[in-house]
Amino acid sequence: MTTEFASRLLQALGSECVLTQPDDIAPWLTDWRGIYRGNAQAVVRPRTVEEVSKALAMCNDAGVAVVPRGGNTGLCGGATPDAEPTNVVICLDRMTAVRSIDTVANTMVAEAGCILGNLRRAAQDADRLLPLSLAAEDSSQIGGNLATNAGGVNVVRYGMTRELVLGIEAVLPNGEIFHGLRTLRKDNTGYDLKQLFIGSEGTLGIITAVALRLYARADVRSVVLAAVESPAQALELFERLFAKCGARMQAFEFFTGDCLDITLKHAEGLQEPFDQRYPGYVLLELADTTDEAALNALLESVIGDALEDGLCVDAAVSASLAQLQTLWKLREEISEAQRADGPHLKHDISLPIEHIPAFMVSAEARIRAVEPGVRPFIFGHFGDGNLHYNLSRPEGAPTDWAAKEGYALTAEVLDEVMQYGGSISAEHGIGQLKLQDFKRLKNPLEQRMMHDIKRLLDPKGIMNPGKLLS
């Protein structure tokens, strides 16, 4: 039955924009992993910023909670409503216009519902590069990427999402439109207000459009898979490669031998990269705008020296695009392989890079003291300090192991992260998943300042309840 408020939304915005029937609403009530499920009285799918403004103003006046939603690729339940039946979900999947691409200023202005992969292809068609790249880029939306400050594989060269943003357009909870969609490189006129919304997980307002930096296309790529004896050796290799390759280093990924085992077991079309198994592997990509021969020569020289100096124990350099893609697949298929293995605990953490080797030793000792049979699968963006420290159930354990035993192990992992001055969330946000640990571990002064900002912009507390600051 349609509620009185949902009927008002229908009257104001029309049936093409507002969904109220249970079967129509259902797809917007759960996250893609099937972990979280909530309720809502309506789903609003606006086509313009003015429709977003009207919907938010109406919700604010009535004190109705709003849950912004993008491509539903998040891992922390940040875009899934809570159990309250009066929630309104606002999904921007119909706001998909690329408003402009400027190849002189090297900027792109796009609406928040644009699929990231489509924006990357649009930039490429304009002979430019949008460097934000992540596994879910062909389903994630750019508004959600901003709301969670997404990372991905190119952070070591180009930075997180916030480093790529020049300006935003956003709607405040009361319906006012923040016209901050500037493409200026320099604007020293006070607080950088756009940064409040980047990483805010929809708790301060709804981002409706973004102005992004573009770069020269770096189509010349070369990849090497290097085998290492330990994370400490991987760190030494990183130092050498960073010094010798500089800005050409586009990615520096690490994964353990256990990750390779599970990937080869569950992924199709992959083979052992070397004649023997090693404790760890580094995937390095260099990219440049021109001169493939020079880039390959640089990589081969640096890796050759690293082998001679004992910074790695084996290496395979891509000789073709097909080989490059195959080497990347060894890294990219880890998450899907672990999903095929069964339920597991995900920890998206970041650490000072120099402390990663010590953390990996001490964290494993700590979790094995709690659960000796746990199986760690550790991989991630080593070059920017981001590890996906995932734990699978012991062999033979029931499939509900993660649900029943998980929090005790998660607390051990995150407490160890804090011992090294790290962060409990590197690129996935807080959402619902990490809310308890956020409250427990985040500096109290920082939490108070965040709550003060929240109260200023969202005094009625309608934006995305149950997430981040709840």
Each residue's pLDDT, cut to its tens digit, for the chain (470 residues) gives 689 999 999 999 999 999 999 999 999 999 988 889 999 999 999 999 999 999 999 999 999 999 999 999 998 999 999 999 999 999 999 999 999 999 999 999 999 999 999 999 999 999 999 999 998 899 999 999 999 999 988 999 999 999 999 999 999 999 999 999 999 999 999 999 999 999 999 999 999 999 999 999 999 999 999 999 999 999 999 999 999 998 899 999 999 999 999 999 999 889 999 999 999 999 999 999 888 888 989 999 999 999 999 999 999 998 888 889 999 999 999 989 998 988 889 999 999 999 999 999 999 999 999 999 999 999 999 999 999 999 999 988 888 888 888 889 999 999 999 999 999 999 999 999 999 999 999 999 999 999 999 999 999 999 999 998 87
> The domain spanning residue 133 has which CATH number?
3.30.465.10
State residue 415's pLDDT score: 97
Measure Cα distances from 9 to 44, 56, 88, 267 in Å.
8, 10, 10, 47
Residues 103 and 211 placed together within one structural domain of the fold: yes
Helix (H, G, I), strand (E, B) or coil at 211: strand
Residues 32 and 75 placed together within one structural domain of the fold: yes
Helix (H) or strand (E) holding 449: helix 444-457
Which residue has tokens 């890796």? 303
CB 108 within 8 A of CB 212: yes
> The domain spanning residue 317 has which CATH number?
3.30.70.2190
State residue 166's pLDDT score: 98
| Cβ-proximal residues to 134 (8 Å cutoff; 6+ apart), any chain | 116, 140, 145, 150, 151, 152, 153
Helix (H) or strand (E) holding 69: strand 66-69
Least Cα distance to 43 among 71, 78, 81 occurs for: 81
415-419 long-range Cβ contacts below 8 angstroms, 24+ apart: 415/441, 416/359, 416/362, 416/363, 416/366, 417/349, 417/351, 417/359, 417/363, 419/362
Classify the phi-psi angles of 63: left when phi > 0, otherwise alpha if psi is within -120 to 50, otherwise beta: left
Residues 212 and 111 placed together within one structural domain of the fold: yes
Beta strands in 140-205 (DSSP E): 165-171, 177-180
> The domain spanning residue 78 has which CATH number?
3.30.43.10
State residue 320's pLDDT score: 86
Total of domains in the chain? 4
Residues 152 and 252 placed together within one structural domain of the fold: no
Helix (H, G, I), strand (E, B) or coil at 208: strand
- The answer to whether residue 459 sits within a structural domain is no
Residues 151 and 235 placed together within one structural domain of the fold: no
State residue 402's pLDDT score: 85
CB 386 within 8 A of CB 334: no
Residues 86 and 103 placed together within one structural domain of the fold: no
d(CA 120, CA 109): 12
Are β-strands 18-19 and 42-44 bridged in parallel, bridged antiparallel, or unpaired? Answer: antiparallel
120-155 b/e with 16+ CB inside 10 Å = b? bebbeebebbbbbbbbbbeebbbbbbbbbbbbbbbb
**Partners of 179 in beta bridges:** 169
| Cβ-proximal residues to 210 (8 Å cutoff; 6+ apart), any chain | 109, 110, 112, 142, 143, 146, 165, 167, 168, 169, 181
Residues 210 and 248 placed together within one structural domain of the fold: no
State residue 396's pLDDT score: 87
How many angstroms from the chain centroid is the CA of residue 78? 12
Residues 21 and 117 placed together within one structural domain of the fold: no
- The answer to whether residue 187 sits within a structural domain is yes
Domain end, chosen from 216, 251, 283, is at 216
- The answer to whether residue 463 sits within a structural domain is no
- The answer to whether residue 38 sits within a structural domain is yes
Residues 107 and 188 placed together within one structural domain of the fold: yes
**Which tokens go with 341?**
């293995």
Residues 203 and 104 placed together within one structural domain of the fold: yes
> The domain spanning residue 397 has which CATH number?
3.30.70.2740
Rounded to 10 deg, the angle between the 321-332 and 334-341 helix axes is 40
Helix (H, G, I), strand (E, B) or coil at 282: strand
State residue 343's pLDDT score: 84
Domain end, chosen from 199, 216, 233, is at 216
d(CA 5, CA 107): 40
- The answer to whether residue 317 sits within a structural domain is yes
HSE (side-chain half, CA atoms, 13 Å) at 233: 20
- The answer to whether residue 468 sits within a structural domain is no
**Partners of 282 in beta bridges:** 226, 254
CB 113 within 8 A of CB 90: no
d(CA 303, CA 312): 8
- The answer to whether residue 466 sits within a structural domain is no
Alpha helices in 181-320 (DSSP H): 194-197, 231-245, 257-266, 292-308
- The answer to whether residue 115 sits within a structural domain is yes
Domain end, chosen from 91, 120, 153, is at 91
Residues 14 and 72 placed together within one structural domain of the fold: yes
- Domain range for 293: 220-335
Rounded to 10 deg, the angle between the 257-266 and 334-341 helix axes is 70
Q: What is the pTM of this model?
A: 0.92
CB atoms within 10 A of CB 438: 21
